[in-house]
């Protein structure tokens, strides 16, 4: 599969330097312009400041780009009608010359294709509330079970059914590891009310865990749940009633499928007077910094040889 890289990313990959993959749906579907562009630039700068090279991933006019120039970032931040790409539709977008932003699943696919082992995002998709009747379950979960990339997030998006998301991840054999705490974080909040299945306190341990999975012949990656900094969080007792209201409005308006998450994020932004967006930006930047540290540890470890 052919793909384009920036000079910065190409040189880093060729020289075994740490690289961190970044998704692009946060730019096109997660935040309004110009905050989306400002955030994308800040996150890339955070990765560089922490000692790694950022590789923002997107499909532009039918070409998969692993790493975007600043001009491409700016164009994407203002683009209209950009497809939201996951495993199911990524190939069609490329084959037909389309432009699309990558979700967690699509970013993992592209990162693995390029040999990038670490990916920083905001929150992963998961089991939507009411999935027992809608069957709305994100492809992110299956991707984590089959693609060997370490994904750093602030937990599953709090708008989801987090207990069921955790159950599905366990069934799929995906390690869910909280960084530095016993509680599982929930995106805007540091504590979801659920215990984390696993806990690690050092990036070096996270890097070794990914290598050990490969040594054992285990498919898939691992999910690092990195709590939002305390100063930036919206506590669970504050955000939960707001999420409930936004979910009720989405149901009343019959919002479905890929439109659900952007609708909910926008309503929660409005209902929190913008506080949710500020927290979202803080947690993404926090995840990028941790991802860079893990990427540094990984390049120092030998890769498992194929058998």
Residue 286 to residue 104: CA distance in whole angstroms: 17
Cα–Cα dist 134/251, whole Å: 12
CA of residue 286 relative to chain centroid, distance: 12
Q: How far is CA 31 from the centre of its chain?
A: 14
Q: Active-site residues: which are they?
A: 23, 157
Whether omega for the bond prior to residue 30 falls within 30 degrees of 0, making it cis, is no
* Gap between the Cα atoms of 238 and 244, Å rounded: 11
Helices 275-299 and 260-271, packing angle to 10 deg: 120
Q: Is 130 left (phi over 0), alpha (psi -120 to 50) or beta?
A: left
Tell how strand 198-200 and strand 222-225 pair up.
unpaired
Q: Where are the beta strands (DSSP E) in the chain?
A: 4-5, 19-22, 53-60, 63-66, 83-85, 100-102, 118-120, 150-153, 176-179, 198-200, 222-225
* Residue 168: exposure state from Cβ atoms within 10 A (0-12, 13-18, ≥19): buried
Q: Is 113 helix (H, G, I), strand (E, B) or coil?
A: helix
Q: What is the DSSP secondary-structure string of 67-93?
A: S--HHHHHHHHH-SS-EEE-TTTHHHH
SS3 250: helix
């Amino acid at each position: 599969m052919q793909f384009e890289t920036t000079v910065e990313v190409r040189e880093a990959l060729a020289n075994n330097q740490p690289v961190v993959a970044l998704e692009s749906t946060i730019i096109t579907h997660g935040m309004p312009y110009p905050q989306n562009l400002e955030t994308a630039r800040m996150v890339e700068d955070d990765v560089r400041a922490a000692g790694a090279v950022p590789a923002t991933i997107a499909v532009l006019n039918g070409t998969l780009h692993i790493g975007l120039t600043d001009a491409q970032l700016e164009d994407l931040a203002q683009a209209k009608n950009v497809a939201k790409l996951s495993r199911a539709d990524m190939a069609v977008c490329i084959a037909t010359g389309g432009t699309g932003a990558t979700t967690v699943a699509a970013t993992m696919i592209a990162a693995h294709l390029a040999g990038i082992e670490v990916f920083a995002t905001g929150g992963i998709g998961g089991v939507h509330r009411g999935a027992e009747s809608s069957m709305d379950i994100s492809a992110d979960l299956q991707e984590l079970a089959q693609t060997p990339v370490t994904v750093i997030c602030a937990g599953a998006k709090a708008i989801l059914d987090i207990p069921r998301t955790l159950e599905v991840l366990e069934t799929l054999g995906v390690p869910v590891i909280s960084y530095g705490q016993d509680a599982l974080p929930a995106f805007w909040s540091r504590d979801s009310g659920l215990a984390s299945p696993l806990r690690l306190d050092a990036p070096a341990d996270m890097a070794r865990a990914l290598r050990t999975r490969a040594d054992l012949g285990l498919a898939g990656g691992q999910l690092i749940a990195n709590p939002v900094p305390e100063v930036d969080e919206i506590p669970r007792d504050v955000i939960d009633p707001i999420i409930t209201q936004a979910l009720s409005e989405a149901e009343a308006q019959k919002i479905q499928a890929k439109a659900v998450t952007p609708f909910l994020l926008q309503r929660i932004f409005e209902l929190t007077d913008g506080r949710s967006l500020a927290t979202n930006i803080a947690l993404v930047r926090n995840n990028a910094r941790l991802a860079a540290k893990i990427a540094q540890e990984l390049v120092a470890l030998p890769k498992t040889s194929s058998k």
